Amino acid sequence: MGQIFGIWDVRADRRDMGYYKGQKSRAKGVESMAKSEGQILARNTVGRLLAFHRDPLGTLGQIARDQGPVARFRMGAWAFALVSGGAEVQELLNKNGKDLQKGPGMDSKNPLIGRGLLVAGGELWKAERLAVQPLFDHQRLKTYGAQITHAAVEYRERFSQNAVPVSVDGDMLALTLKVVLNTLFSADDTSEAFQDISQAVQTVMTYFYKRSRSVVRFPYSWRVPGTLGYHRAADSVTQWMEGILRESPPSFLAGRLQGALPQDQDAVLQSALTLIMAGHETTGHALSWTLAVLAQHPGVQRRLHAEVDAALGGQLPQASDVDVMPYLRAVILESLRLYPPVWIISRSNPGPVAVGAEEFAPHTFFLVSPYVSQHLPSEFPRPEVFDPGRWTGDSLPHGAYLPFGQGPRSCVGRDFALLEMQLILATLAQTLEFHADLAQIWRPVPRLSLVPPKDMVLTVGPRESGGRP
């Protein structure tokens, strides 16, 4: 999702502009220096660009620590402002939010989501946001509870007998895709078409990521070798979605979008597709990270089991139950702090903008990194420690905590995502436990979202204490 959100194609963009010409020998030296994570030993702009390409999280983190809450720096030929302090992030995204545009990495030419809610701007965005918002109203969210829990029960039943090693990330992505399709699109997950669509959505997302990393980018519509799988998948996702949007009587979502944009079928289609793409990958990775940190913190996992058992008394969780499981919520908030799926947000300003005492000329390229802000020792004491206790006291962290963004373009699916994560985690915690090598360190991989590394394998099995129900 990061490419959708950000600039993560700096390398390709610079190469497109011939920027790397004549930089070979410098690049070599810088690359080896950039290996020591988070160290920007190369202070020149090209060196920083290469360091960023190699280790974006470390490079941005170092800039924030070196230069403070508002850091101006150059990378390649571009001027950036990295805004990381809690107060400054709020000022930029909340106070100035309505005067900002999405950063240039947002690809409005993307034929599946370029005119959808995430990428669109101006009046089109406003109409789409108003149309989609009621899908996530408090009352409507409650109606999704049973479907979410049902999907989690099906998953946990796979582990009712023995403990087995599992690459949880693939499983969590499949689970959250199923939840979005079941709840927002009322898709019947027993049908053959459902499997095909799940597969096609994954193929499309993989293509978007690969394309974002590619040096040569043909227009989306060109059916060149290597893109045929993507085109087949994109065609079938599009046809499937067009079918859903034509259904009579229309689903709630289709009715809202068609009502808001009767003359713009492309925007209707792309907003609906955006909800699938933006709505499952983030939540899937977030759940994977949460299971991993639980596996590495057995004491936290035991406390979670105790809370879930006491609150649910052996019954399956319902949407209203999440209010009586504060520790469950704290575990999720803390996992989203350490591993925010959207690790970078970008904006530009058509007119002048001020943040604190700093004035920015039009067309500044602003970066806000939830990952960087949420790991700042000045904002979160002992930032690398997984401590759900941060979320149970009186003075809760704020400002620099922004896994769902802030301001007018913050996540429309926030409450849905939190409910989904709480219900899935509570359902799994009722009967399963997760184990991992406690010494293992899994470094997050900043791709479209903050992806767990391939070697993240957990042992999943029935709770030794028996669990409930």
Q: Which residues bind ligand HEM (CB under 6 A)?
A: 5, 117-118, 129, 180, 274-275, 278-279, 282-283, 286, 341-342, 345, 403-405, 409-413, 416-417
Question: For the residues of 320-336, what is the DSSP string, one character each?
Answer: GGGGG-HHHHHHHHHHH
Instruction: Give least dist CB 108 to ligand HEM, A.
Output: 13
- Between 334 and 461, name the residue whose CB sits nearer to ligand HEM: 334
Instruction: Give least dist CB 370 to ligand HEM, A.
Output: 6
Instruction: Give least dist CB 380 to ligand HEM, A.
Output: 17
Beta bridge mates, 446: 450
The CA distance from 94 to 449, in Å, is 23
Under a CB-based contact definition with an 8 Å cutoff, are residues 91 and 85 in contact?
A: no
Q: Cα 170–323–186 angle (5° rounding)?
A: 50
Q: Tell me the one-letter amino acid at 110.
A: N
- Between 101 and 459, name the residue whose CB sits nearer to ligand HEM: 101
- Between 75 and 106, name the residue whose CB sits nearer to ligand HEM: 106
Instruction: Give least dist CB 290 to ligand HEM, A.
Output: 10
- Between 264 and 309, name the residue whose CB sits nearer to ligand HEM: 264
The CA distance from 380 to 393, in Å, is 14
Backbone angles phi, psi at 399, to 5 degrees: 70, -80
The CA distance from 358 to 425, in Å, is 43
- Between 51 and 83, name the residue whose CB sits nearer to ligand HEM: 83
Identify the helix (H) or strand (E) that includes residue 273. helix 265-295
Beta bridge mates, 83: 70
Cis amide leading into 340 (omega within 30): no
Q: Tell me the one-letter amino acid at 352.
A: P
Instruction: Give least dist CB 408 to ligand HEM, A.
Output: 7
- Between 50 and 345, name the residue whose CB sits nearer to ligand HEM: 345
Instruction: Give least dist CB 34 to ligand HEM, A.
Output: 27
By the 10 Å C-beta count (0-12 exposed, 13-18 middle, 19+ buried), 45 is classed as middle
By the 10 Å C-beta count (0-12 exposed, 13-18 middle, 19+ buried), 383 is classed as middle
- Between 283 and 301, name the residue whose CB sits nearer to ligand HEM: 283
- Between 118 and 148, name the residue whose CB sits nearer to ligand HEM: 118
Neighbouring residues of 424: CB distance < 8 A, sequence distance ≥ 6: 148, 149, 151, 152, 175, 179, 287
Instruction: Give least dist CB 165 to ligand HEM, A.
Output: 25
The CA distance from 4 to 342, in Å, is 10
Beta bridge mates, 183: none
The length of the chain, given as a count of residues: 469
- Between 114 and 403, name the residue whose CB sits nearer to ligand HEM: 403
Position with the least CB separation from ligand HEM:
413
Instruction: Give least dist CB 163 to ligand HEM, A.
Output: 27
What are the structure tokens assigned to 323, written together?
Answer: 């209010």
- Between 388 and 405, name the residue whose CB sits nearer to ligand HEM: 405
CB neighbours (10 Å) of residue 30? 22
Instruction: Give least dist CB 406 to ligand HEM, A.
Output: 8
Instruction: Give least dist CB 176 to ligand HEM, A.
Output: 8
Instruction: Give least dist CB 338 to ligand HEM, A.
Output: 12
SS3 of the chain: helix, strand, coil, percent, to 5: 55, 10, 35
Angle, helix 228-246 to helix 252-260, in steps of 10 degrees: 90
- Between 212 and 283, name the residue whose CB sits nearer to ligand HEM: 283
